[in-house]
Structures are given as structure tokens and as C-alpha cells.
Amino acid sequence: MESALMDLKERISFSFGIEYGVSDQDTLNTYPLAMAYLTVFFVEYGEAVLSLDFKDCVLTRGSLIIVGEDNMITFKEASEDYKMHCFLIQRDFASEIAYVLPNELFSYLHYFPIQTFTEEDIGIYHLWQSLTIYLMNNVSIHAQKTLCNQFQTLFLSLSEQVNYDELIIEKHYSRQEELCWKFWDLITHHAKQHRDVAFYADTLFITPYYLSQITQQFLNYSPKELINRQVVLEIKDYLRNTDLNISQIAEQLNFQDPSYMGRFFKRETGVNPLQFRR
């Protein structure tokens, strides 16, 4: 099936993987949209009919939609006054944002990608969005870190409103989904010491092949890709927020020597650790 890139107005973009723009009635088309790794929509005015994974949803003022690259999105129609703000976030930057977020939030958003804000929530969101757009227009040296903090604030605020106990009662995950989320949780706790797929498969009492099947199905990446991505985030965190030298960081992350960690980091990011720290 053919898909189309989003046609946006008032575009702002950064090379590290985030783009902002506005969608209105003039920009809609009938094709499924090619999503970024993570996309955040907010309807400021009007109404629109959205097909999300082949289910029609009516969006109104105050609708916040959070979707990923594996979602099927089509906007079918919209009112004349429809205006929607769009943040398109690529994989590496989305990973940095997710680094401090609770794993349960991703599960919640998987099942509830559309949030409807109250008038009070809309006012608070407008303040967040105005500051975010201002930062995108005016900050350069610290733009990546500042915008990362902004989106972490947004997602943590959403997490505060979720009753995860009720979510567990209400939603019954398949066995494969449960294993997938448990694997994700294991990575966040053990990636500093364990980079081999076999460790995680053994902990889950399944084979590496089966683990690969379910992560490809539900997360669109192999177990090794997901482990490596978390290790990269850990290295970046040490490089940004500590004074540890490369040898000390390699020791903290269980690399056999600093040069091996350096080669790993450059292969995954395109720059060596010292270049990234600078």
C-alpha cells in the first residue's frame, strides 16, 4: 500500500532527529501516512476523523495522539477550522527521551494512543507546547538536551495520570506481549552488565530464536539491536553527566577494554566517545 509523508506548514527541524509542523485541512490527503519512529499530534482547533490501525476515531480540540512507525494512520476528513500540531521524532532521539521514562507507560500508550485533555489540561499543554516551539526557534548549542528534557516532562506528566494497577486488570496481554515487555524491562535493568541475547532468553526461560521472533513482531527490532541501543544510551549518559574517563566508563559497562567500547560506540552512533563528549 502506498504511503505519503506528512505535508506540514511552519516546519522546524533539527539534524538530531526532531521535526515540528502544523497540519490543517489543506494538508490532508487520502493516503496512509509514513510515520516517524515516534509522532505526537495535538488538535488545537476543529475536528477530524482519523483511521488508526483501520479503526475510525473522531479527534476534537484537546486530543493528544501518540503513535509509532508501525501504526497505520490515515486522516479521512476534517472541519474547516481543523488545526493540529505535529512533532515527528526519529529513533535515536526518541530513545534518549525514553531513557528515564517508566516502561509501563509504553505499554499503556500502546493500548491507549489517544488521550483527551480537559480544558485545564489544554491550557497546561499550550504552555508546554509554546515553550517547546520557542526552544526550537531560539536554542542552538543545547537544543538536543533541552528538547529531550521537554519531552520527558510531557511523558512523565502523562504517566502521573495513569493508574497502572487498573490497566493490568483491564488489559489481558498475550503470552508473547508479556514476554516482550518483560524483555524490555530486563534490558533497562541489566544492559550495563549483559549484552548477550542468551542471558535475557535464559532469564525468560525461552530460546533466543523465540525471543527474536516476538521482538521483531511487537517492537520491530531484533533483541541484539534493542540491547545495543540501551547500551548506547547508558554510554551517552555517562559521557554527558559524569566526569568519568573512557576507561572508567568501559569498566562500569563491563567492556573488556576501552578501545572495544570505543569501536562499539562509533559503529552504533557514527562518532567516537570523545567526539560525542565534546
Look up residue 249 and give its three cell numbers.
566508563
CA angle 78/83/85 to nearest 5° reads: 125
C-alpha cell at 103: 516502561
- The burial class, CB within 10 Å (0-12 / 13-18 / 19+), for 255 is buried
Average pLDDT, the chain: 86
In this predicted model, what pLDDT tens digit does every residue of 55-97 receive, in sequence order?
889 999 999 999 988 787 888 888 999 999 999 999 889 989 9
Q: In this predicted model, what pLDDT tens digit does every residue of 9-43 receive, in sequence order?
A: 888 888 888 999 998 888 776 566 767 889 999 99
Q: What is the pLDDT of residue 141?
A: 85
Tens digit of pLDDT for each residue in 126-170? 999 999 999 999 988 888 999 999 999 999 999 988 776 666 544
| All structural domains of the chain | 9-162 (2.60.120.280), 173-277 (1.10.10.60)
Cβ contacts of 74 within 8 Å, gap of 6 or more: 30, 31, 32, 33, 50, 51
